[in-house]
Amino acid sequence: MSTTNLQKNSIKQTLKNSILDGACFSAMLGLTQSYIAPFALALRATTAQIGLLSSIPGLTMALSQFAVPRLAERASSRKRFILPVVLMHALMWVPILLIPYIFPGNKMWWLIGFITLSTVFSSLANPAWGSMMADLVPENKRGRYFSLRGRICDFVMLVVSFAAGGILQLTTGNPFLGFSVIFGGAVLARLASWYFISRMHEPSLTSTIKKRISLLNVIKKTRSSNLGRFMIYVALVNFATCLAGPFFAVYMLRDLNFSYLTYVAINATSTLATITFLTLWGKRADRAGNVKIMRITSYLIPLVPLLWLVSRQIYFLIPIQIIAGFAWSGFNLASSNFLYDASPRENRTQSIAIYNAVNGIAICLGALVGGFLAPRLPHLSGSNLLTIFLISGVVRMLVVISPLSKISEVRSVSKIGVPELLFGKPVLLWAGIKSKLVPAFLPVQQLKAITIPSNFLFPLTWSYQRARVSRSPPFFDDS
């Protein structure tokens, strides 16, 4: 077998291992991400402490990112740098699950400290991992690959999150036992993720590391560069989001008295929507570019917290989560891929680290401001948390309509209008609708009796056949 074929097979297997790594990492997230706030509430955390639990790890993570490029360079291998920090990230959940049993004093401060260390170890690996994956996945296939990976990861996270909610529901009388079980599972899942990363092939660094641009020069160019505007825009969106983000769990569990299963079901709805729409966004991102998708989804993001003010009924909150999944799946996928596209290959690790740092600071400030304001705000419909949801929605909208949203696409893409971007080409849309509706009302042998001009029938049939062979549902087909 030729060297080229060996390399292709190695990359192909690496991309499979990356999906397995992502699935295991998502299992860890499913066991922890939605349950840190409930764990804190079980430890009798105050609203201000919940804000600190989101803000302090974010700030520490942001500051740690500035050291990543130099540390990765000293390791002489991105993979050699990633593996030990991922291992430490896995092991950090051991003391977290032991907090209720062996740590003295105010247990919330222990939780904040260990979550901070866990977040730092997790984030240290991200820039080097992103740089490595950007080298492995071709530019024009990133949308499809990362959407496939994202769907698998989100499905795993959804299933595991339901299982974790069931465990907590069964151990309601002894909640710390349930938390110990799910956090112990998180340790095992992250160790499995570490194993699959160790099996990945790393492209050579010799052609990608050159003289790094100094941090000072990057900051100076931030206001004028396209990449800099993008970083600030996403950071401000995250700041506005985190004004309210840490408190949705508190609102559901404390103010609405939802059970763990109801809480999981509402969160799972957003994950299901994300899984459903990632296929759509992945294909569209490869064709139409990432900027257009970011613009469309940005206008939906401010609506999410505002809709929580309308009703407390579960049947209303679930559609809100569908909107959230539709918007955030597109925004997150497009912003990640745009970062890979816009970052210079020779300095990609540094660019990703700076992006993470800026976002970490924004997330920290958002959670701090939200945690400070929430207890001091007047009640809206019986809850002061609804007031912070309102403020978050308004601030998100101000960010979205600001000049910072004017980001330019960095690669050549097709010019596609918004209707076609969302629904596909009109003739394929009609073919998809026809394939669903007509057989429900007419026998198949009577379809030919429909009055359709003969010169229109052939292209319609041809388009319909193309729609059928697509991997996506005909309604959203754009092949």
Task: Count Cβ atoms below 10 Å from residue 5 Cβ, excluding itself.
Answer: 9
Helix, strand and coil content of the chain, in percent to the nearest 5, comes to 80, 0, 20
Q: What is the pLDDT of residue 105?
A: 81
Are 378 and 452 part of one and the same domain?
no
Give the model confidence (pLDDT) of 193-243 as tens digits. Answer: 999 999 998 877 644 444 555 555 655 665 568 888 899 999 999 999 999
Over 90: is that where the pLDDT of 412 sits? no
Give the model confidence (pLDDT) of 234-258 as tens digits. Answer: 999 999 999 998 889 889 988 899 9
69-94 average pLDDT score: 86
Give the model confidence (pLDDT) of 274-312 as tens digits. Answer: 888 888 888 888 888 888 899 899 999 999 999 999 999
* pLDDT band per the 50, 70, 90 thresholds, residue 66: confident
Q: What is the pLDDT of residue 429?
A: 47
What's the 3-state SS for 7-60?
HHHHHHHHHHHHHHHHHHHHHHHHHHCCCHHHHHHHCCCCHHHHHHHHHHHHHH
Domain tally for the chain?
2
User: Under 8 Å CB-to-CB from 431, ≥6 apart: which residues?
Assistant: 460, 463, 464, 467, 474
Q: How far is CA 329 from the centre of its chain?
A: 7
Q: What is the pLDDT of residue 44?
A: 87
Residue in the structure block whose two tokens are 């866990």:
118
Q: What is the pLDDT of residue 212?
A: 52
Residue among 206, 194, 138 nearest 411 (CA): 138
Per DSSP, the residues of 287-354 read: HH-HHHHHHHHHTTTTHHHHHTTT---HHHHHHHHHHHHHHHHHHHHHHHHHHHHHS-GGGHHHHHHH
47-73 average pLDDT score: 81
Give the model confidence (pLDDT) of 127-182 as tens digits. Answer: 888 888 888 888 778 888 888 898 899 899 989 988 998 999 898 888 899 999 99
| The domain boundary residue, chosen from 361, 385, 410 | 410
Q: Which residue has the higher pLDDT, 294 or 422?
A: 294
Are 132 and 183 part of one and the same domain?
yes
* pLDDT band per the 50, 70, 90 thresholds, residue 395: very high
Are 260 and 135 part of one and the same domain?
yes
Over 60: is that where the pLDDT of 20 sits? yes
Over 80: is that where the pLDDT of 32 sits? yes
Q: Which domain holds residue 436?
A: 419-476
Write down how long the chain is.
479
Look up the pTM and report it.
0.70
| The domain boundary residue, chosen from 410, 441, 468 | 410
Which CATH number belongs to the domain containing residue 143 in this structure?
Answer: 1.20.1250.20
Phi and psi, residue 473, nearest 5°: -55, 145
